[in-house]
Structure 1
Amino acid sequence: MIVFRYLSREVLTTLTAVSAVLLVIIMSGRFIKYLAQAASGALDPGVLFLIMGFRLPGFLQLILPLGLFLGILLAYGRLYLESEMTVLSATGMSQQRLLGYTMIPAALVALLVGWLSLGLAPQGVTRVAQILNEQDALTEFDTLVPGRFQALREGSRVTYTQELSNDRSELGGVFISEKRLSNDGAKERGITVLVAESGRQEVQADGSRYLVLENGYRYDGNPGKADYRAIKYDTYGVLLPKPEVSSEISDREAVPTRDLIGSDNIRYQSELQWRLSIPLLVFIVTLMAVPLSRVNPRQGRFLKLLPAILLYMAYLSILIAARGALDKGKIPHALGLWWVHGVFALIGLSLLYWEPLRLKMLSRKQRAEVARG
């Protein structure tokens, strides 16, 4: 029991450290993406951390298996390097027994990953989709930031205001540049520039929103040509596009697991197998990591780290490719993703029993040579 607690503590401590580092790296990249959308006015900065919080279960369900895999390699590799595993082996600690001890914390990780994969992650995707739909419903006034040029409509419109009231209804020092397109939207017909001393938002009874500009100019023309037309106005109204709010969430990753069970939809069947595969992945990578962590103290603890990572990447890549093939109906549903787990389970068993078998054959060969001598 003391040995079990010691090994479990080493694995779980390393797992926590590795997973925290991986989580920071992945979330930083995604946060930068959302931050760029907020800077362009596509997202409200106030919802950034809310989105990241709901995306956290989806990140963790893939990070934890990798963290456990690396945690076993690093923790047990250190024990081999410091000859602690040699002492344990001398007291009767076989590879099979070590694997059995390791499977217990791995089962805890698998339960956590299963909870994330089957429950929390789909709920998080649903909430993120709802937030993004709400963001799509925002008007320019809801995302406008004073003193910043804001690109809208895929860059076809640029808006700037020097001042903005607290209730976001009054503007001061307004600049709007918009590309004029042909009726089919395929050809650019010029640029319209609006400047005004002030502006305000008006909402009509039918829900239509207008930007009413006061005391300004409108310039129409084509860049590079001297045929610009300037119009001075006292009041100028611009119809703001009505936001389209979608209450439907088409992402299958947001579908609750209970709705996937028994579904005839091929994509739903693939999604269910994927969610079940992630907890199963934890046990398979544990089976591979235990023999791969065995290193010679003279070779260093990182000798097998790179091949082990490549093996893990191959496992995950084949699993993702099989998921895509299952989506397209190229793989029978009964076979699904399970064959990938079977192949790598056989690889793990081969790694587990190859070294003892090799040593046994070597010992038998040495005994035969002694007998002949």
Structure 2
Amino acid sequence: MIVFRYLSRELLMTLSAVSAVLLVIIMSGRFIKYLAQAAQGALDPGVLFLIMGFRIPGFLQLILPLGLFLGILLAYGRLYLDSEMTVLSATGMSQQRLLGYTLVPATLVALLVAWLSMGLAPQGVAQVARILNEQDALTEFDTLVPGRFQAMKNGSRVTYVQDMSKDRGELGGIFISDKSLSRDGSKERGITLLLAEKGRQQVQADGSRYLILENGYRYDGNPGKADYRAIQYDTYGVLLQRPEVSSDISEREAIPTRELFGSEDPRHEAELQWRLSIPLLVFIVTLLAVPLSRVNPRQGRFLKLLPAILLYMAYLALLIAARGALDKGKIPLSLGLWWVHGVFFVIGLVLLYWEPLRLKWAGRRAARGVIHG
């Protein structure tokens, strides 16, 4: 029991550290993506941390299996390097017994991953989709930030306001640059510049909204040509475009797991098998990691780290490829993703029993040599 607690503590501490680092790295990349959209006016900056919070369960469901895999390699690798595993082996600690000890904390991780995969992650995705849909309903007016140039319509329109009232009802010091067809109807791109002292929003009966500019100028022309037209106006209306928010979330990821059971849609079946595969992934990577963590102290603890990571990447990549093939109907639903787990389960068994069998065969050959000698 003391050995079990010691191994579990070492494994869980390493798992927590590795998972925390991986979570920070992944969240930083996604946060930068959303932050860029907020800077362009496509997202309200106030919802950034809310979106990231709802995405955490989806990140963790894939981070924890990898964190467990690396945790076993690093924690047990250190024990081999410090000859602690050699002492444990001398007291009867076999690879099978070590695997049994490791499966206990791995089961806790698998249960947590199952909860995330089948419960929290779909709920989080649904909330993120709701927030992004609300952002899609916003207009350029709702996302304007005073003192900042904001690009809209894929960069074809740039808007700037000097100041804005707290209720966003009144704008001051307005500049709008909008690319459009030239006045002579050719395909050459022109540009329209709008300047105004102040502006306000106006909602039409059909739901469309306009920015009503007052006391300003409009300039039309083509860059590089001296044919600009200047118009002074008292009132001018500009149609407010809705910002385009890019999202990597599919609708089926937000479907509750209970609704996926019994569905005849192949895409829903693929999603269900994917959610069930992630907890199963935890047990398979545990079977792979325990024999891969065995290192020779003279070789260093990182000798097998790169091959092990490549094996894990091949496992996950094959799962994702099989999921895509299942979506397209190229793989029967009965076969699904389970054959991928079966292949790597067999690989894990080979790795687990290869070293004992090799030593056993070497011992037999040595015994024959002694007898013949």
Spell out, residue by residue over 1:35-81, the C-alpha distance to the aligned partner (whole angstroms, 9 max, x if none): 00011100011100000000000100000000000000000011111
Structure 2: how far apart are the matches of 1:112 and 1:228?
Answer: 65
**One-letter amino acid of the structure 1 residue matched with residue 82 of structure 2:** E
Please give the alpha-carbon distance, in whole angstroms, between the structure 2 residues aligned to 1:368 and 1:187.
88
Question: Which stretch of the first structure deviates more once superposed, 204-213 or 81-90?
Answer: 204-213
Structure 1 residues 186 and 132 mapped into 2: Cα distance closer, same or farther (>3 Å)? farther
Other-structure match for 1:316: 316
Does the CA-based 8 Å contact 2:103-2:286 persist in structure 1?
Answer: yes
Distance 2:363 2:208 in 1: 87
| Structure 2 CA distance for aligned equivalents of residues 4 and 244 of structure 1 | 54
**In structure 1, what is the equivalent of residue 177 of structure 2?**
177
Matches within 5 A, 1:268-279: 268-279=268-279
Change in CA separation of 1:205 and 1:321 when aligned onto 2, cut-off 3 Å: closer
Listed one character per residue, the Cα deviations across residues 88-133 of structure 1 (whole Å, up to 9, x for unaligned) are: 1111111111100100100000000000001111111110010001
SS at match of 1:140: coil
The residue that corresponds to 2:116 in the other structure is 116
Question: 8 Å contact 1:209–1:242 — kept in the other structure?
Answer: no
What letter is aligned with 1:98? L
Percent of pairs with identical residues = 83
| AA matched with 1:297 | P
CA spacing shift, 1:243–1:95, aligned 2, 3 Å = closer
Matched, 1:298 2:292: no
Deviations 1:147-186, CA, capped at 9 Å, x for gaps: 111111111211111111111111111111112249xx99
Partner residue in 2 for 1:43:
43
Shift of 1:12: 0.5
Structure 1 unaligned spans of 5+: none
CA contact (8 A) 1:208 1:242 kept: no
| Counterparts of residues 336-355 of structure 1 (less than 5 Å) | 336-355=336-355
Partner of 2:88: 88
C-alpha RMSD of the superposition: 1.9
- Give the corresponding residue for 2:157: 157
Residue 193 of structure 1 aligns to which amino acid in structure 2?
Answer: L
TM-score, with length taken from structure 1: 0.95
| CA 281–99 in structure 1, closer or farther in 2 if over 3 Å, else same | same
Report the CA distance shift for 1:75/1:159 in structure 2 as closer, same or farther (over 3 A): same
- 1:16 pairs with 2:12: no
Q: Secondary structure at the match of 1:306?
A: helix
Q: Which residue number corresponds to residue 235 of structure 2?
A: 235
Distance 2:167 2:119 in 1: 39
Q: Which residue of 1 aligns with 2:325?
A: 325
Q: Deviations over 1:215-262 (max 9, x none)?
A: 1111111222222111111222223347899xxx96111111111111
Normalised by the size of structure 2, how large is the TM-score?
0.95
Number of aligned residue pairs:
368
Indicate conservation of the 8 Å contact 1:174/1:196, yes or no: yes
Partners of 1:243 and 1:39 lie apart in 2 by 12
* CA distance in structure 2 between the aligned counterparts of 1:261 and 1:150, rounded to whole angstroms: 45
